[in-house]
Amino acid sequence: MDDIHRKRDRLAEKLAVNRQKIFAKNAAKELSGKLDLSEILVGRECDEVLKQLKRNSRILSVHSYRPTEEEIREFSHRRLYQEFGFREKVLSRLSLIRPLAVNSPAHLWFNHIESPVFVMELNDLVSGVHELCLFSGFDFVFADTDYVSGIAVSHSGGYVTDDFNPEEIIYELEAWGVFASMIQDELS
């Protein structure tokens, strides 16, 4: 019986890896000329990176996470979390981040079950953040490989009380590390 379960698990893993590779190929084709999505992590390597991203991103850590006002204040010096009713406001905030003086490797994941983790240069992601938003439908996360700095963008159904969108969409933006500082500095 254990042998049957191991075979089933290996087959499921192979199918998941294959779907991740297909997703990667389609993403690379769609974003060609804008971002180099050629290096990917699939399967268990992908799962390990996702565990780290979920530990470092409040948006990804819990499905439909809604931080309390106290949590937002507690993290305000280390991270930025904002909700918007319109995607243009997310793009406006993201336009405040700039490439870093020292570039470093980074991980990118689209909030899609079939997405692999892409390995890229952090500054390429910063420069291509507008394209990432449009391609992903405002659902992605990227961070340096130490997970010290990153950006997460997501959306879900609902209302932002002070930014009402009749389409009933909440856009979430989370930034931590140097990116939170960049946005906060520009807003002050």
Q: How confident is the model at residue 64, as a pLDDT?
A: 45
**Total domain count for the chain?**
1
**Are 151 and 174 spatial neighbours (Cβ–Cβ below 8 Å)?**
yes
- The helix-helix angle for 43-56 and 2-30 (nearest 10°) equals 70
Distance between CA atoms of residues 106 and 124, nearest Å:
9
The first and second tokens of residue 28, run together, are 């690379």
Tell me the one-letter amino acid at 11: L
Nearest Cα to 62, choosing from 181, 142, 172, 161?
172
Distance between CA atoms of residues 148 and 114, nearest Å:
25
Q: Which residue has the tokens 């336009």?
A: 95
Q: What is the mean pLDDT of each run of 10 residues along the chain (188 residues)?
A: 81 86 90 89 92 79 58 64 93 95 94 91 96 94 92 90 87 93 86
Phi, psi values for residue 145, rounded to 5° = -70, -10
List, as own/partner pairs, every contact residues 24-32 make where C-beta atoms lie below 8 angstroms and the sequence separation is at least 24, other chains included.
24/115, 24/116, 24/118, 27/110, 27/115, 27/118, 27/135, 30/135, 31/128, 31/131, 31/135
Stated pTM of the model:
0.85
Q: What domain range is 78 assigned to?
A: 2-187
